[in-house]
């Protein structure tokens, strides 16, 4: 690897998500390949990109340690018997929003929890075994948290697109 590339990779390793450095073309291509098949090995990625396996290994390590990507297996919630998918809009007192977000994020049912603007202070995506499980979550858990003002629940009838389907856009040509 050239000295400039090595310095750039090391710089990316020390960068947090809040101070993100734009990815170059090679990094973007590594991410695209892994998005299509997360099991693609480094030698195959290197062959496709026309670089060495060492380059791929170092860049992949920098992408992971720099919090640009995570390499995980994402099981289907339905595999775990979680048959009800819901989006919850939670209106809170502003003073309690971070505490509530933290408590909600700890729950195993919750796949996504984001602090938001607008009508709801928190937007949550969660999965439940059945309607009774959802009711216990809303009434017994959320209903007991100080600062929760209102909960609006929308049941997802059919998932048209799953979150891991999105792709990194190609950079300017």
Q: Can you tell me the mean pLDDT for 102-109?
A: 96
pTM: 0.63
Task: Mark whether 152 and 93 lie in a shared domain.
Answer: yes
Q: Which residues of 120-147 are buried (b: 16+ CB within 10 A; e: fewer)?
A: bbbbbbbbbeeeebbeebbeeebeeeeb
Task: Mark whether 107 and 136 lie in a shared domain.
Answer: yes
Instruction: Report the chain's mean pLDDT, rounded to a whole number.
Output: 84
Task: Mark whether 28 and 82 lie in a shared domain.
Answer: no
Tell which wins on pLDDT, 69 or 53: 53
Tell which wins on pLDDT, 17 or 140: 140
Task: Mark whether 41 and 112 lie in a shared domain.
Answer: no
Q: Give the number of domains in the chain.
A: 2
Q: Can you tell me the mean pLDDT for 49-61?
A: 96
Domain that holds residue 56: 3-65
Of 4-8, 67-71, 125-129, least confident by mean pLDDT is 4-8
Q: Which residues of 52-74 are buried (b: 16+ CB within 10 A; e: fewer)?
A: eeebbebbbebbeebebbeeeee
């Amino acid at each position: 690897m050239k000295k400039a590339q090595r310095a750039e990779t090391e710089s990316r390793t020390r960068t947090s998500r809040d101070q993100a450095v734009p990815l170059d073309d090679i990094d973007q291509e590594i991410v695209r390949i892994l998005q299509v098949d997360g099991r693609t090995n480094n030698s195959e990625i290197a062959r496709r990109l026309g670089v060495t396996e060492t380059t791929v290994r170092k860049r992949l390590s920098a992408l992971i340690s720099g919090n640009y990507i995570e390499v995980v297996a994402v099981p289907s919630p339905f595999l775990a018997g979680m048959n009800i998918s819901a989006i919850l809009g939670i209106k809170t007192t502003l003073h309690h929003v971070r505490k509530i977000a933290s408590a909600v994020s700890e729950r195993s049912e919750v796949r996504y929890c984001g602090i938001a603007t607008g009508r709801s202070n928190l937007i949550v995506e969660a999965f439940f075994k059945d309607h009774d499980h959802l009711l216990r979550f809303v009434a017994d858990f959320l209903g007991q948290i100080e600062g929760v003002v209102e909960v609006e629940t929308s049941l997802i009838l059919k998932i048209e697109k799953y979150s891991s389907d999105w792709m990194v856009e190609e950079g300017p040509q």
